[in-house]
Structure 1
Amino acid sequence: MLPLNPALAATFRPPVMEARRWLEGLSLPAGLPLINLSQAAPVEPPPEPLRRAMAQAALEQPDAHLYGPVLGRAELREAVAGEWSRAYHATIQPGQVAITQGCNQAFCAAILTLAAAGDEVILPTPWYFNHKMWLDMQGIRAVPLHCGPDMIPEASAAARLISDRSRAIVLVSPNNPSGAEYPAETLRAFCELARSRGLALILDETYRDFDAREGAPHDLFSDPDWGDTLIHLYSFSKAYRLTGHRIGALIASATRMIEVEKVLDTLAICASQIGQIGAAWGMAHLRDWLAGERAEILARRTAMAEGMAQLSGWRIKGCGAYFAWAEHPYDLSSPELAQRLLYKVGVLLLPGTMFMPEGDPDAARHVRIAFANADREGIAALIGRLESFRP
């Protein structure tokens, strides 16, 4: 038998793929179409003008088919720096921006510049499972930081978890899986904690375009020395429906970019050229369209919160961006509940055990609902099925 990396072997399998396997051989009754709320991703292609711009680039720009700069195309790095400077009332330089193959790669690159096997990274729970998977693969210990009932982590609690092996704290806001939007003062407190203890603060704002708040969600970039502590992550997948083109961004100090470039060159050389062209075009031309997308997601959020409030025994702990994190009322573990919901009422969602440490009792009591995959009519259908469900 060939050797197997023990850290990789010990890493759990991708949860979304596990949920998809539940669909194999599934036969739902007539009139009960599947409501698939398992994965947080747009289910429609990019808007037609964006697709046309990308198709035109494929036909007319020879460099769209060649290797590009490891840290990304200049026009996209400049666009990100300009937009982030405007949105966060700060000054961010193109040399502080790297374009990655999706936000997952941005996270992987950030971690590789910070930590090695045996080190520790603090993750609030429930955590984004791909973050946990990458740490496990690298032999880096994920230290769970339990959130309160409002799903907001506390810097004071994180301070008690820091050891001499700690290298970073990771925050996701708006959060996946809970939907919670972290207050600006929470993010500031974590940044100050990280700086005082010599750690990095990795802030994943994949869902920033769907934050319910107006204006900048924090002031971390206003600090002229932000690069000493902050590493910021972003994804173009959700905002512009570019999931298949895998375009993300990492914003950090120019000094750290030297190390990021090593990682990206080794993993993929560069992100997709056509995807980068599409992202830059979208930033330049789709501001109004994106505002409409945000308004629709916020309307779905309202429909989800109001609908869930009608269900006896269910309790929404967090609801925002693409997600609701819900406590269920049944005497079942969340994996068993998730499968029964699928087989009995045709609803596919993910159990809390996919987002929390093994053995955590809270995991069995919660589920993640990726409600952004359903329109308001679909959300109403979901509420009806949950109401009719009998274990």
Structure 2
Amino acid sequence: MRASIMPSARINPLVETLASPPIPEVQAWKKQYNASLGPLIDMSQAVPGYPPHPDMLDWLGEAAGSLAMAGYGDIEGEPGLRAAYATWVSDIYAADINPANIQITSGCNQAFMAAMMAIAGPGDTVLLTNPCYFNHETTLAMSGVKVGYVDCDAADGFLPTPAKVEAMITDGVRALAIVTPNNPTGATYPDGLLRELFEICRTHGIWLVVDETYRDFLPLDTGSPHGLFAIDGWQGNLIGLYSFSKSFCIPGHRVGAITAGEALVSQIAKVMDNLQICAPRPPQAALAKAIPALGDWRQSNTLEISARSAALTGVMASAQGWEIAAIGAYFAFVRHPFTHLSSHAAAHRLAKEAGVITIPGSFFGNGLEHYLRVAFANADVATIRELGTRFASCSR
């Protein structure tokens, strides 16, 4: 008698059809490098290339061992952190931002997801740039939200033009989401462009979502990144996203923040209650102390990242066939010389033959086969200066 074949349980096709996470794929290439040119240089994932401040580690340890931090916390976040962050961003943007405008999340990816769930649903459309941060793209796709792509050209510094944005806004579009300084290109949106994009969004009654994960690594003489939070009525159309991971060197502790109007924060809190109830409490308690105490340390790290950026710029200037198309904060978008190879094949070759791990441009959108993302913040200046030899060895 033939055994019956039982049907398999179904997987959500919105998840099943997504590509696998890209970082593990490129990390696997490490095993193929034979160390012939020296130690492997990993410039793939955006992680701080230096440790947290010792005081930060002490505060984390104290909070983790505290009985008071072992229970549930407020859905919107620890009052101390919300107050400290509101004071900090009020100073950064010369604006009046209150703790009630702050929602603490478990990292900036969760901040994006929670914000999107509050403002867009299945069948709605959110505009992203091309190139875009791949986790934004997959978050929307698995939620049944359509994605419209605003093409950004190298000739424009990989920044969207207001005309292209406006042309993409049709019925069903709920938001425009941008990243500045950008991931993957590093391009920084000037205040004037941000103001134009905000006014376009306000005219059409949609949200402008600004992910500023890397804002603390802008040159120290930049001043305020923009003036959007000082605009009267910003709460009706603006959402700011932030990650504490890079500035405080704690990506494993997963803490991010949303800055929004009180009405929207109350809606996002509904989402957070179902996603996680509350973000991890010990790092929130530690960050409430670190924000006012570690300003000088953060500034010294900004100077170090600027030095790494300058070192990469110098190396690339003499690397035959290689070209920086855009650079800023943590990333450079680099044009590779292998015209006969896809970006995936070029990145794989660079990893295998030269021991340099980068991310293929194709992972960030269409028409990007000539580019690689280089996360230069991961490596110190001395290591970055070795890249010229590595690139030359792989270009032959």
Query: Into which bin does the TM-score normalised by the smaller protein fall?
Result: over 0.9
The alpha carbon displacement at 1:78 in A equals: 0.5
Match of residue 320, structure 2, among 297, 312, 320: 312
* Residues 28, 34 of structure 1: 8 Å contact kept: no
Q: Which residue of the partner structure matches residue 63 of structure 2?
A: 57
Match of residue 354, structure 1, among 347, 363, 369: 363
* Residues 37, 355 of structure 2: 8 Å contact kept: no
Q: Which residue of the partner structure matches residue 123 of structure 1?
A: 128
* Residues 10, 136 of structure 1: 8 Å contact kept: no
The alpha carbon displacement at 1:31 in A equals: 5.1
Residue 294 (1) aligns with residue 302 (2): yes
Q: Which residue of the partner structure matches residue 224 of structure 1?
A: 232
- What secondary structure, in the 3-state scheme, does the structure 2 residue paired with 1:98 have? strand
Q: Give runs of aligned pairs for residues 89-108 of structure 1, distance below 5 A.
A: 89-108=94-113
* Residues 50, 282 of structure 1: 8 Å contact kept: yes
Amino acid at match of 2:162: A
Residue 265 (1) aligns with residue 270 (2): no
- What secondary structure, in the 3-state scheme, does the structure 2 residue paired with 1:176 have? coil
The alpha carbon displacement at 1:32 in A equals: 2.0
Residue 389 (1) aligns with residue 394 (2): yes
Provide, for residues 271-303 of structure 1, a one-character-per-residue CA deviation record: whole Å limited to 9, x for no partner: 111110121121021000001000000111111
Q: Which moved more, 1:62-71 or 1:183-192?
A: 62-71
Q: Which residue of the partner structure matches residue 303 of structure 1?
A: 311
Task: Find the aligned partners of 2:59 and 2:18 in 1 and give their Cα distance.
Answer: 40
- What secondary structure, in the 3-state scheme, does the structure 2 residue paired with 1:17 have? helix
The alpha carbon displacement at 1:156 in A equals: 1.2
- What secondary structure, in the 3-state scheme, does the structure 2 residue paired with 1:343 have? helix
Provide, for residues 130-182 of structure 1, a one-character-per-residue CA deviation record: whole Å limited to 9, x for no partner: 00010110111211111132111112111111110101001110001100111
The alpha carbon displacement at 1:313 in A equals: 1.9
Task: Find the aligned partners of 1:215 and 1:27 in 2 and give their Cα distance.
Answer: 43
- Mark the CA change 1:30 to 1:383 in structure 2 (over 3 Å): closer, same or farther: closer
How many equivalent residue pairs?
385
Match of residue 35, structure 2, among 24, 29, 34: 29
Amino acid at match of 1:257: V
Residue 197 (1) aligns with residue 201 (2): no
Task: Find the aligned partners of 1:350 and 1:381 in 2 and give their Cα distance.
Answer: 19
Pairwise CA RMSD of aligned residues? 1.2
Task: Find the aligned partners of 1:44 and 1:320 in 2 and give their Cα distance.
Answer: 18
Match of residue 148, structure 1, among 149, 153, 169: 153
Match of residue 276, structure 1, among 279, 284, 290: 284
Q: Which residue of the partner structure matches residue 39 of structure 1?
A: 45
Amino acid at match of 2:217: F
The alpha carbon displacement at 1:57 in A equals: 2.4
Q: Give runs of aligned pairs for residues 318-329 of structure 1, distance below 5 A.
A: 318-329=326-337
Provide, for residues 208-235 of structure 1, a one-character-per-residue CA deviation record: whole Å limited to 9, x for no partner: 1001252101100111200101000000
The alpha carbon displacement at 1:383 in A equals: 2.2
- What secondary structure, in the 3-state scheme, does the structure 2 residue paired with 1:303 have? helix
Q: Which moved more, 1:8-17 or 1:201-210?
A: 8-17
Amino acid at match of 1:287: G
* Residues 101, 271 of structure 1: 8 Å contact kept: yes
Amino acid at match of 1:136: A
- What secondary structure, in the 3-state scheme, does the structure 1 residue paired with 2:159 have? coil
Q: Which residue of the partner structure matches residue 3 of structure 2?
A: none
Q: Which moved more, 1:245-254 or 1:306-315?
A: 306-315
The alpha carbon displacement at 1:27 in A equals: 4.5
Task: Find the aligned partners of 1:385 and 1:86 in 2 and give their Cα distance.
Answer: 43
Residue 4 (1) aligns with residue 7 (2): no
Task: Find the aligned partners of 1:30 and 1:318 in 2 and give their Cα distance.
Answer: 30
Residue 79 (1) aligns with residue 88 (2): no
Amino acid at match of 1:346: G
- What secondary structure, in the 3-state scheme, does the structure 2 residue paired with 1:386 have? helix
- Where does structure 2 lack aligned partners over 5 or more consecutive residues? 1-7
- What secondary structure, in the 3-state scheme, does the structure 2 residue paired with 1:144 have? strand
- What secondary structure, in the 3-state scheme, does the structure 2 residue paired with 1:368 have? strand
Match of residue 178, structure 2, among 171, 177, 186: 171
Task: Find the aligned partners of 1:236 and 1:250 in 2 and give their Cα distance.
Answer: 11
* Residues 186, 329 of structure 2: 8 Å contact kept: yes
- What secondary structure, in the 3-state scheme, does the structure 1 residue paired with 2:385 have? helix
The alpha carbon displacement at 1:43 in A equals: 4.3
Task: Find the aligned partners of 2:36 and 2:347 in 1 and give their Cα distance.
Answer: 21
Amino acid at match of 1:170: A
Q: Which residue of the partner structure matches residue 245 of structure 1?
A: 253
- What secondary structure, in the 3-state scheme, does the structure 1 residue paired with 2:177 have? strand
Match of residue 18, structure 1, among 25, 28, 51: 25
Amino acid at match of 1:94: P
Amino acid at match of 1:158: V
- Where does structure 1 lack aligned partners over 5 or more consecutive residues? none
Task: Find the aligned partners of 1:289 and 1:310 in 2 and give their Cα distance.
Answer: 33
* Residues 100, 247 of structure 1: 8 Å contact kept: yes
The alpha carbon displacement at 1:374 in A equals: 0.6
Normalised by the size of structure 2, how large is the TM-score? 0.95
